[in-house]
Every structure is written in C-alpha cells, then in structure tokens.
Structure 1
Amino acid sequence: MTVSDPSTTAAGATAASPATIAARTVPADRREPRAWKKWAGRVPGPLVGLVVIFVLLSILSPYFLTSRNLLNIVTQISAVGIMSVGALMVIIIGGIDLSVGATLALSSMVMGYLFSYSGMPFELALVLGLAVGALIGLLNGILVTVGRLQPFIATLATMSAATGLAVFITGGNTVNGFPEWFVSLTRLSIAGIPVQGLILLAVFLLAAFWLRLRPGGRALYAIGGNEEVARLSGIPVRRTKLVVYTLAGLLAALGGLLVTSRLDSAQPTAGAADLLNVIAVVVIGGASLAGGTGSLLGTFVGLLIIGVLNNGLSLLGVSPNLQPVVLGAVIVAAVLTDRQARKAQSGER
C-alpha cells in the first residue's frame, strides 16, 4: 500500500504555501491595509481641506492668487495665529481659555490709556500692556489650580471682567495717536514678508521647540493625557498649568498690540469675534478638547484654512451673515476628514 505524497494534490499540483493559506484564512477586515490607504493615512486631514479650499478659490476668484492678496491674508491671520498658540497649549493640558479676545482688548486699552491719558512713555506703557495680559493668564491659572474651578467657568469669569474693564477705562472711547514707529511696525516688510508675519512665524517656531524638544513642553501632553499619572511621575502639574495659562494671556496681549499697530487705534471691542476663530483654528488643526493631543503644525494648517476661507468668501461677495455658516461646515468637514485619515493609518475600515 502506497501513501500519497502530501506535497502534491490529487491533480498533481503543488500544495499551497503556508503564506498563501494564511492569506486565505485571514478575514478581509483584518488584512494589511492597501498601499493607498497607508499613504492617505500619512496626510493630515486639515491639509487636504486646505488644498481643496485653496484650489477652489483660485478658480472662482481671479484676485485670490495674487501676491498682494496672499500678503493680506498673512496680515489678517497674524493676531489670531499668535493667540492660537496659547490656546493650543491650554487645550493640550485639558483646559480651555475663553478670555483670549477680552485679554486682547483690555491689554490694548491699558496701553493706550497709560500713554494717552496718563502721559506715560509709550515704551513703558507697551510693556505694562503685555504685563496685563500675562496677569490675566496667571489669574486664570490660579482660579483653575488653586481655586479648583473648571477652566470653562474660570476663563468665562475673567472674560466677562476683562470685557467690562476694557470699556470702563475710557468710557467706551477708542484711543488713537500712537507713535509713528509703532504704527509703521505692521506696515514694514522684510524680504517681502510683513513683519507681523515674521513675528507669527517666530512664535510658532519657539512654541514648537518647547513642546517637542524640552521636558517642560512634553509635560503638557502628559498632563492632558492623565493628570494624576503625570503628578505621580514627578511632573509639577500646578506650576506647569500656571505657566501655560500665563503664556496664553501674554500671547493674547501680543496679538492685541499687533492689532492696535495695524489700526492705529486701541478699541474696547477689539477681539470680540476672535474667540471662535481661535478655537476653530485649534480644533481644525486636530487638537482634542479632551486634552493630550495637538501640534503646532496642525494648528498652523488650521490657521491657514480660517484665513484663506474668510478672505476667499469676502472676495466672492458672500454675505458676512452667511460666512459663519460656511465656517461651521468647514470645521465639521475638516474634523471628519482627519478622523478618516487616522482610521486609514491604523488600518481600520
């Protein structure tokens, strides 16, 4: 009696290899994702949205893709971008700062009041204006860490107080007549790039260096991921939160100085519409309001999306009343696109 060779089948063909058998038995939803899915997973969702918006506006408006308009976009997004850096750091640690717009207005009004009404040297008034922003941020941090208030409640309270003080200081009047060097600061360009654009870039690069390469910056992600674990690991949670909120206030004040320079006017209602833009920039950039995630690169892309979109809608003559509707739709689309990209990267279906 002969025993058939297991390496051959009844038809004489060779048996399937182990790799082939494994491929046939693995369920379809557990197989290795296709190459294009892997590639798509490496492309941030917000970046895809930015490219689509940029291409569409270039086709729809002949004035969009011009050097003058592109430089105008840089000018328009500088203040919001600087505030977004501080807002991102606050969101990474699991908090939120609703007072950025009010801080911008109050710091500008304090600077203008000290210079125009009190006769203080402008340079000193400018420094004190920045200090007011930092103090508001520090107060937010104290309310959150020492007072144990929810960040939403704490910053909502300071937003209300700062808004009222900004109007009270001059009775609701604007302050004009700043020094020429200060006003011309936002009109100058270096190598064709507006100075405020260079300031924006410098703020992003410094923040990125701190978040990615310094232990203090990396600690923000640990705190946002699990505050108790971070504390047990030896991270000074309370001090780090105070620093983050103070920096957020200081950056809001810096944004206020750029707005004041560009308009040659300190206005008590300045920054009122910036809060939603700042939060939208950070969320579109991929940061989670739950904390622990977020990047400066994603935030920068989100900033460009907001800036390009607002500029393009104005060029197309879209009513200002409808622009927030379009912005809301873009926020939802960008978040959903980013979610799909992350699923593709992880091999999920």
Structure 2
Amino acid sequence: MTTDHTAPSEAGSYPPKQLLAARRGMATAATIAPETLLTPAEMQDRCATLGVVLDPAVALARERLTHAAGSPADTARWASLLHGVAEDQSAAACGDPAALPVLAARGHALLGALLDTQPPWPGIPAIAAAIRARITAYSYFPGRLLVLQRLAGDAGCSRSDVKLALEDLSAENIVARSDTGFWYARDTRPAGHLTERAADLLARVITAGAYPPETVLSRTKLRDLLLVDTGTVHDALGLLTGRSLVHLAQNRYTVLPLASSTHTAGCWPLADAELLGRLPPPRETGAEHSLAVIRRTQQNAVRRYRDGDVLPAAAMSVQEERQGEVLRRLLMSAHNQIRYQDHLDTRLQSCAAWVLACTAMPSPADPEHRLWSFAVTSVAVAGLGIALRTSQPAHRRPW
C-alpha cells in the first residue's frame, strides 16, 4: 500500500495541498478488502504508513477541538472523530486486518473535516510579508540558506507558493538566489563584519596570553574555535598583522611579542584581585559543570548557531547566566592550579586565556552575534574543561 502524501513540518501546519494528497491516500487505503491476509510484518508496516499521515492530522484536530470550546456542536464533532481514530488505531495495532480499511475511512473523514475548516489561503503578498518579518527579526539568519520546506511550514502554504513569494522578495533585495539555485537571506550588515568580530576576539585572545611569542597559528584550529570558514580566518589574521600582533612569513602567521604595557594588563595568569574583577558575578543557584554537561552544552550551542536556531531572549539570558557560572568555576580552578605546578601548563594557559578573552566580549544586541558569542564561549569553556581534567592529578580534579 502506498499513500501519496507529504508530512507537514510541524503540528498545526498542514497546507491544503498536503491535506488533499493525504485524503487521496486514505481513500485508496480504505478500499483494501477486510479479508486480505496480511503477515504481522505487513500489518505493522501499513499501520506505520497510515500513522505518518494520521499523527499530524490528529494533532491539528486537537487544536481545532481546543479552539471550538465555545461551540458544543463543533466540540462534539471533533471529539467524536478523534475518539474513533484512537479506537481504530488501537484495533489495528492489535493485528486485526479488518481494522485497516476502517481506520483509513475514519482518517479520510478526519482529513475531510480538516479541509472544511482550513483557514483561507494567505496569498503570495501575505506569505512574502511573513518571510520578510522573520528575516528582519533574525528568525532566518542573514546570509544563510533558506529551506523551502521550513518556510512552507511556517507560512502554512506549499513550497511552490514560497518560491513565488521569494521571487517578489528578491526584487526588494531582501533575498537572493545562488548560482546553484538555492535561496538565501541577504546580509545587510557592513561588508567584512564577520572578519572584524573574529579579528577582535582573536586580538583579545593573544593579548590575554593564549599564545607565547613565535607561536605559529593553525588556521584550521582557529576556524574551529572561531566558528568561521578558513577564508575568514585568513582575512582576520591579515587585520591583526596591521595591529602588530602577528607576522606573516612564508605563508605562516606567527605571534609577535606583546608590548610591555599590553602584556601586563589582562594577561594570564592574573593576580587574584584582577581575576575576580573580570569574572561574572556568582549565581545563587549554581550551574552544572561536569565535563559531560559542558561538552553537551558546547555541541548544542554550535548546532544552534549553524542551524540559525535562535532562542527567545529570556531563555538566552538564562543560558548565558549558567555559562557565566561555569566559566567562573573553571577559571578559578585553572587559577588555583598554578599553586600545584612547578611549571605553567602551556595548554591550560592557552585555554584559560581563550575563556578570559570571551568574558571580555561586549554584549551584542544582534541575535545572530549573540548566538555566535555564546557558541564560541562554549567551545572555549569545553577546551578549558578538558585541559583541567588532563592536567590535574585525579584527587584534585573538580569532577
């Protein structure tokens, strides 16, 4: 059995064309003869196929039931349809072949009811306005590829309608199309802003003492630490040559000795009072700082930044407060580590200086910049956690 359908991107977003396709698939499934002999594996496969269509339809029907609370007739209609689908799904899951066509017929009726109550088609101008608003609000990051299926799910329309809306937005220079045919949101920020912010952070890292003089910088490692491409790293290092922080010779960037005034101000290791003055204030409730949690936080932060998954402002503030408490504890551990070592661990010094430089970054208002700062700091904190674990004796480790 095959059903002609496309599952919606999220519950509650079921465009009319998908509803019609799913309803046609249910009509085909309802013609199966009840006496058809099916093996348990075939029963399970057909139940799963119907479930792909029915599960989001049931979720949408539950939303309609919630909105119909003021109408007894509508409430009874949706409740009856949902109850019938649930009973038929249970019977089909128990292996009753006769329940399959009944379930398909019930699903056909449910999808028909959803079509009857489907909101009116928004129209191309309304779809374009919704996409424009999301780009302006940084829900879709500037310069990032636009996924048509995600746009269609957010706007409650088909992908072909989204393409027409994008054509209108391209005339307004809000979106553009690449040579390979992919759409992306235009970046209206000043040219080279990614290079500038990467260079600013790297300058803070060098002045914080992360790299001794004559250290050859690896562009591959800096790419992973700064979450930018190799070309941006090369351009950022080019800017730092003009600031007399690095030197280019034989296609290698080498760290130059710092000026004496720069070297004494904010260079790791710091004095106790200076370190405490640069750390975030302690949180009253604390934060989990086991290495496993730190690594998982880093992975989630990098994934969110690369996917353009912006958290609400309140949730982002909570994440930043927790991150501040974790880096505070790790920097204090790294500071105390000096007392137990005859020589300074260069890897620990480099990782601590990276975290210290991240704490000095300004608080950006741009959601994309804010998410980048959080992700870069998460990478630095994870590196410091690993360095602490490998450099400390087992009986002195914080975890």
TM-score normalised over the length of structure 2: 0.21
Which protein has the larger Cα radius of gyration, Structure 1 or Structure 2? Answer: 2
Which one scores higher on RCO, CA 8 angstroms, separation ≥ 6? 1
Which has the larger share of helix?
1
